[in-house]
Amino acid sequence: MFTDIEFTHKTFLWFLTVVPVLILWYFYKYKKQTADLNISNLKSFESSSKIWVLLKHLLFVLRLLSICLIILALARPQTVNVSSKTKTTRGIDIVMAIDVSASMLAKDLKPSRLEALKKVAGKFINKRPNDRIGLVEYAGESYTRTPITSDKGIVLKSMKEIEYNTIITGGTAIGMGLATAVNRIKDSKAKSKIIILLTDGVNNSGFIDPKTASELAVEYGIKTYTIGLGSNGMALSPVALSNGKFQYARVQVEIDEKLLKEIAKETGGKYFRATDNKKLEEIYEEIDLLEKTEIEEFKYYNYEEKFRPFVLLALGLILIEFLLKNTLLRGFL
């Protein structure tokens, strides 16, 4: 009943500072009113006098408690139950275009570029509960893995299942990956449309020029964030396939940063370079901060007054004091 109580008129609580003064005044007055009696033997008075003295002090304690409770009641104690309701006022549609070429199996990010991306991108998806997200895969060609959807379970499942395969033609078709992402999101009615394009190479295949794809993104008002994935210098990368297993060797990391910067600039986005796992995670965190969904929150306050129990307790103590003073302690006082 008295948990989580707030006081509306806290100024009245200052009156509680009078309580120590009343206590001092009471004992000072008590000593002044108490007469001294000197006799040879007090044994016959000890037990009875102590009880009466305690009872007399009890009257003061009851009155003091009553005063404290009345002060607390004047301070207007109440509990507040706050409930909130959120409404998404500006949703964002996001398509993540992911390079799944063989070079994404390079081990300069741990355990590999592709696995590191899947882990970080999964965290990013979980942070966007109010947005719709879709996935596009591309290597030498591209296709939509998951259309834009608000069902994060489907998107996360699809993200986990992304892996290198030999079904898609080899190479890196950045233009086709971007064009497919644009085609998937261009008809969206969302207030903001975003593409996150990630690659670890250069555009070396596909029949759509990356600049043409970026022009399409500009035409449909789609902002594109580009990420170049790979360490500086040499990286342990797959170079040959023998008996169904990749052979690894250290090769030069080659990313067309100039192209990625141009795409980002033309579409109003930003280019990032991820050279390790930590940097990749920081990039997605920054994109998450740059692209925030506008949410309107409504709060409802339910106030419940709690002064009545204090008043009733004070009245009860005053009644007890009155009864004791006019019955059991009447002759003594």
Residue 86: its pLDDT value, please?
Answer: 58
The neighbour count for residue 134, using CB atoms within 10 Å, is 22
Residue holding tokens 């103590």?
A: 317
Cα–Cα distance for residue pair 320/333, rounded to 1 Å: 16
Give helix 152-161 / helix 113-126 axis angle, nearest 10°.
170
Q: With cut-offs at 50, 70 and 90, classify the pLDDT of residue 252.
A: very high
First to last CA, the chain: 37
Residue 53: its pLDDT value, please?
Answer: 63
| Residue range 19-47: mean pLDDT, rounded | 65
Strand order in the sheet with 92-99: 142-149, 132-138, 92-99, 192-199, 222-229, 271-274
* H-helix or E-strand spanning residue 309: helix 307-326
| Residue range 21-25: mean pLDDT, rounded | 84
Torsion angle defined by CA atoms of residues 50, 54, 57 and 58, in that order, rounded to the nearest 10 degrees: -160
Percentage above 90 pLDDT, the chain: 50
Cα–Cα distance for residue pair 195/264, rounded to 1 Å: 10
Which structure tokens are listed for 77? 């104690």
Torsion angle defined by CA atoms of residues 99, 104, 105 and 108, in that order, rounded to the nearest 10 degrees: -150
What are the residue ranges spanned by the domains of the chain? 6-35+42-81+302-326, 92-292
Predicted confidence (pLDDT) per residue in 176-214, tens digit: 999 999 999 999 988 899 999 999 999 999 999 999 999
3-state secondary structure of 127: coil
Contact between residue 272 and residue 228 where contact means Cβ atoms under 8 Å apart: yes
Q: pTM of the predicted model, to two decimals?
A: 0.64
| Residue range 288-311: mean pLDDT, rounded | 77
Measured in degrees and rounded to the nearest 5, phi and psi for residue 310 equal: -65, -45
The alpha helices in 204-306, defined as continuous H runs, are 210-219, 257-267, 277-290
The neighbour count for residue 194, using CB atoms within 10 Å, is 23
Asked whether residue 249 carries a pLDDT value surpassing 90, the answer given is yes
Residue 80: its pLDDT value, please?
Answer: 78
Cα–Cα distance for residue pair 135/228, rounded to 1 Å: 18
Contact between residue 98 and residue 117 where contact means Cβ atoms under 8 Å apart: yes
Which residue spans within 100-217 are E strands per DSSP?
132-138, 142-149, 192-199
Q: Is the dihedral of CA 30, 33, 38, 42 positive or negative?
A: negative
Contact between residue 101 and residue 170 where contact means Cβ atoms under 8 Å apart: yes
Asked whether residue 147 carries a pLDDT value surpassing 70, the answer given is yes
- Looking at the DSSP bridge assignments, the partners of residue 79 are 304
Torsion angle defined by CA atoms of residues 106, 119, 166 and 133, in that order, rounded to the nearest 10 degrees: -130
Please tell me the CATH superfamily of domain 92-292, with its number: von Willebrand factor, type A domain (3.40.50.410)
Cα–Cα distance for residue pair 62/175, rounded to 1 Å: 86
